[in-house]
Amino acid sequence: MYFECVNCNTCIEANIFISVCADCSYPLTIRQNDTSTLLRDSQIVTLGEGGSKIIQLSKFARLVGVSKVHAKLENCNPTGSFKDRGSAMMIGAIKSAGIKNIVEDSSGNAGASVAAYSASAGIQADIFVPENAPKAKIDQISVYGATVHRVPGHRDNSEKQAKQFVSENQFLYASHNTSPYFLEGTKSFAREVVDELHSKMPDHIVMPVGNGSLLISTYLALKELWVTGKIGILPKLYAIQSDVIKPIVSELHNIEWTFNPKQITCADGIASSNPPRMKQILQAIKESKGDSISVSEDSIQRYRKVLAQSEGIFMEPTSAAPFAGLETLVEKGTIDGRDSVLIPVTGSGLKSPT
Ligand SMILES: [Zn+2]
């Protein structure tokens, strides 16, 4: 099995200790069509992730003026977010290599997920989180037995300190943002959409995007199925960001935006100022003919309540961003009212109750 760098086309033999390209530092990706030798079933660490239900949101669809909206309930994964799909495969690979200590940095959801799968695999995890991450997420990481390192300042500081800790202790840096295994594991989301909706594939998939693992993996999985004729259309993919932190919107539309570490978004799961896989994020949006827009803090909070009070779905603020974004995309005419849309509910409201 091989890792490839989509930035400079370097290809190396898969190695659990290497996640970024030695030539250009871009995060590596498992070479397409190279996954049959990935992990044997017995090597995957599982807590029952995946298989999330898809439900129709009739009242929300009427509210925003779209004929059909489906939600895939990723909040029902074992630790309450879609990250479990990636963690299962990444921790399985790490366990297979006999590694006993790992380090991760996260805004919360990935940290909790990696902590849970590490506990199951008998691996000690050190998780670096922003000091202002929701208390419920930090508590969750701690209860799984991981060592929590709370880092003052913006999310990016957690990554810096985690990398420093890795070099001081010679532990494995198991970053969900750069691990080829994590990205590969997350592909199961899109495959399940195809299995369940198949001939009724949505015209558009709208999701919150910070570092882009779900967006990129969805694009890769759907493209594999599209080029082999297993699906008839490639849904358009949309990356929704907050007005406060919007590097993807800025890059895609060539809009000037400067990161201000003092500005905080309620959508903490997408508070990434510099996504390491930016090239793949832009490719997923452009090649699927999608778009990226940002939404206000007020609209995120408003739609969080709308979904809870009209459809009974309790999601964290990050997950409400695409619902707010859909309203804007319909108003702009980017999405036609006759089209169908799928939105993943990426994380549980219990992670950020207030
Ligand atoms: Zn490279």
Domain CATH number, residue 252: 3.40.50.1100
Distance of CA 24 from the midpoint of ligand 1 (Å): 4
Residues 6+ apart with CB under 8 A from 145: 115, 119
Instruction: Look at residue 69 and tell me if it is in a domain.
Output: yes
Q: Quick check: is 239 in a domain?
A: yes
Q: Which residues in the chain show pLDDT less than 50?
A: none
Per-chain residues with Cβ under 5 A from ion ligand 1: 5, 7-8, 10, 21, 23-24, 26
Instruction: Report CA(60)–ligand 1 centroid distance (Å).
Output: 43
Is 261 contained in some domain?
Answer: yes
End-to-end CA distance of the chain: 45
> Which among 49, 31, 32 has a CA at the least distance from the CA of 109?
49
Q: What is the pLDDT of residue 34?
A: 63
pLDDT of residue 41: 64
| 30 CA distance to ligand 1 middle (Å) | 13
In a domain, 18, yes or no: no
Of the CA atoms within 13 Å of residue 62, those in its CB half-sphere come to: 4
CA of 22 to the centre of ligand 1 (A): 7
pLDDT of residue 42: 63
**Parent domain of 209:** 54-81+182-351
Cα of 13 vs centre of ligand 1, distance in Å, is: 14
| CA-wise closest residue to 177 among 250, 275, 314 | 275
Q: Is there a domain that residue 293 lies in?
A: yes
Residue 31 CA to ligand 1 center (angstroms) comes to 13
Which sign does the torsion angle of CA 173, 73, 304, 327 carry? Answer: positive
Instruction: Output the pLDDT for position 39.
Output: 64
Ligand 1 mean position, distance from CA 8 (Å): 4
CB contact at 8 A, 322 and 290: no
Ligand 1 center to 249 CA (angstroms) = 24
The model's pLDDT over 237-256, given as tens digits with 9 standing for 90+, comes to 999 999 999 999 999 999 99
Q: How many domains does the chain have?
A: 1
**Gap between the Cα atoms of 159 and 198, Å rounded:** 39
Domain assignment present for 301: yes
**Mean pLDDT of all residues in the chain?**
94
**What local confidence, expressed as pLDDT, does residue 108 receive?**
86
Looking at the domain assignment, is residue 14 inside a domain? no
**Measured in angstroms, how far is the CA atom of residue 103 from the centroid of ligand 1?**
23
How far is ligand 1, taken at its centre, from the CA of residue 192, in Å? Answer: 31
Sheet holding 124-130, edge to edge: 147-151, 124-130, 101-105, 172-173
pLDDT at 78: 98
Report the separation in Å between the CA atom of 3 and the middle of ligand 1, taken as the mean of its atom positions: 11
pTM: 0.95
Sequence length of the chain is 354
CA 12 to ligand 1 centroid distance, Å: 10
Q: Is residue 131 part of a domain?
A: no
